[in-house]
Structure 1
Amino acid sequence: MITKKKIALCIMSGGMDSTLSAYMMKKRGYEIVALHFNYEQRTQKKELECFHAICDELKVSNRYVLDLDFFAQIGASALTDTNIDVPTGGLEEGIPVTYVPFRNGIFLSMAAAIAEKEGAEAIAIGVVEEDSSGYPDCRESFIESMQQSINLGTKDETNIVIEMPLVHLKKSQIVKQALELEAALHLTWSCYKSEDKACGVCDSCRLRLRGFEEAGAEDPIEYR
């Protein structure tokens, strides 16, 4: 009897969270289809390079890279508008200027089209609600609502589960689990500002460094 393969479409930014999510899905027996977005973010070239390197490490051959240049036209985020400075003064309360309007909603909508085409039963996204920078599109309730909408808007026989295995983890727990799975953390990138050496002072770098410190581990990437 031929066993039908399980396919998971993994949204992979090249960062630590989405990389761990992909490793977790592979461990659960899924064949990985990888999806990456170029959305005119400051570190677009570096993130794409990391995405391909991580896919090589995971031996993922089926990869999609989608270009979304309209995010730059929309602006309103320090990640896509160079006229807005990336904050470096420390983690702040509320929604930061690095929030890209409805980014994960758009990503998941496009991922749904690919997942349906590929016959995937799961979409994996590395959102983190409890220890993130306060992005509204990283909330579990939002992702659950997107799952419902995707299944309402696709074929009757399509039944997609959106997996968010990290949503309730702290960054230190993410680091520990990544080390346990021997995830290629040295190939990941989190910095919002730089593409050569991580700045170490943007929100994303601070969260990452704090996670490694609390996990009692050393971050393998270079910092300024």
Structure 2
Amino acid sequence: MASSEAAAPGPAAPAPEGALVLFSGGQDSATCLAWALERWERVETLGFDYGQRHRVELECRATFRERIAAEFPRWAGRLGADHTLPLGVLGEISDTAMTREAEIRFREDGLPNTFVPGRNLLFVTFAAALAYRRGLRHLVGGMCETDYSGYPDCRDDTLKALQVAINLGMDRRFVLHTPLMWRDKRATWVLAEQLGGEALVERVVEDTHTCYLGDRTHRHPWGYGCGTCPACELRARGWEQYRAEAV
């Protein structure tokens, strides 16, 4: 069964099975990486270059991994190989504000024009294929149905169905974990603190990227971004709620 655990820190002793984290370089996937490192002895990461407008996130991936290895000794030995797959064809067939220089707006059907059809379906399928070759059973993604833009491929039902199809098609028992599925952005900040304290929160603020416009010139209390796109607004609101509780 697909797993969307809401529990915070994992067991003290990591499980010997390995995991592959879909790691974009953003806040959510960075928190998921820490979540996985707390649970498994070997954790590898996978990113995708699909012609996204905010390609700067790919550069953030390496920095975040390096800082995690340097500043969190208990995780350093568990952090395995990193992989990046080129999926430029996804950008070529997508006419969205995520892959084109277009104004971000809502479509007539209520979805934002940042929705890239099939993106998560492809990402998880390619991740499973790589995990098959690497001998990794667990797949971890930052998809969320609580604080999100309404993307249908982020929904829990979608991902559970996808796990069933992948397991049947590959004749393996992969487990797809979505630890943020029922967490809003405030709770995601809380989880980062529970996993790695203020040190991890600081790394998420400084070294990850979530802004759809790829803006790393403006530094806000919650990190870098334009401050006005849907991703920045969600992140900022979650940060304000998280910090308000700490006062």
Alignment TM-score, normalising by the size of structure 2:
0.79
1:132 alignment partner in structure 2:
148
d(CA) in 2 for partners of 1:119, 1:193: 36
d(CA) in 1 for partners of 2:151, 2:17: 31
5+ residue gaps, structure 1: 218-224
Instruction: Find out whether 1:86 has 2:104 as its counterpart.
Output: yes
Instruction: Find out whether 1:15 has 2:26 as its counterpart.
Output: yes
d(CA) in 2 for partners of 1:150, 1:71: 20
1:214 alignment partner in structure 2:
241
Verify the 8 A CA contact 1:131 1:169 in the aligned structure 2.
yes
- 1:4, distance to aligned residue in structure 2 (A): 8.3
- 1:55, distance to aligned residue in structure 2 (A): 1.8
Verify the 8 A CA contact 2:120 2:154 in the aligned structure 1.
yes
Instruction: Find out whether 1:192 has 2:208 as its counterpart.
Output: no
| Equivalent residue in structure 2 for 1:204, among 207, 228, 231 | 231
**Would the alpha carbon gap of residues 126 and 27 (structure 1) be closer, same or farther in structure 2, given more than 3 Å must change?**
same
Aligned length: 208
Matches within 5 A, 1:1-224: 5-44=16-55, 46-59=56-69, 60-82=79-101, 84-87=102-105, 94-155=110-171, 158-182=172-196, 183=200, 184-185=203-204, 186-197=206-217, 198-216=225-243
d(CA) in 1 for partners of 2:47, 2:30: 11
Secondary structure, aligned partner of 1:8: strand
Secondary structure, aligned partner of 1:190: coil
Aligned AA (1:130): T
Aligned AA (1:187): D
CA deviations on 1:179-211 (whole Å, 9 max, x unpaired) are 222332121111001342210000000000000
d(CA) in 1 for partners of 2:127, 2:121: 10
d(CA) in 2 for partners of 1:124, 1:141: 16
1:220 alignment partner in structure 2:
none
Secondary structure, aligned partner of 1:62: strand
d(CA) in 2 for partners of 1:203, 1:96: 9
Bigger mean CA offset, 175-184 vs 106-115: 175-184
Identical amino acids, percent of aligned pairs: 34
5+ residue gaps, structure 2: 1-13, 70-78, 218-224
CA deviations on 1:77-105 (whole Å, 9 max, x unpaired) are 101022x2124x9xx99311000111000
Larger helix fraction of residues: 2
2:5 alignment partner in structure 1:
none
- 1:159, distance to aligned residue in structure 2 (A): 1.2
- 1:76, distance to aligned residue in structure 2 (A): 2.1
Aligned AA (1:16): Q
1:222 alignment partner in structure 2:
none
**Would the alpha carbon gap of residues 4 and 42 (structure 1) be closer, same or farther in structure 2, given more than 3 Å must change?**
closer
Alignment TM-score, normalising by the size of structure 1:
0.87
